[in-house]
Amino acid sequence: MSTMTIGRLAKQAGVNIDTIRYYERNGLIPEPVRRPS
């Protein structure tokens, strides 16, 4: 499985990072599996 940063996703979708997070919070897109930090 390939990974993509939220910034790269936002840029490719033509939206800002806050929009992606909003979509995640509201169930419009699934939350990704996050790598442990």
Q: Is 20 a member of any domain?
A: yes
Q: What is the pLDDT of residues 1-36, one digit of tens each?
A: 578 899 999 999 999 999 999 999 999 999 888 778
- For residue 37, tell me if it sits in a domain: no
CA pair distance 26, 19, nearest whole angstrom:
11
- CA dist 25 and 22 (Å) reads 5
Give me the pLDDT at residue 36, please: 81
* Domain of 26, in residue numbers: 1-30
Is the residue at 35 inside a domain? Answer: no
What is the total count of domains within the chain?
1
Q: Do the domain assignments include residue 2?
A: yes
In a domain, 36, yes or no: no
The pTM of the full predicted model, rounded to 2 decimals, is: 0.74
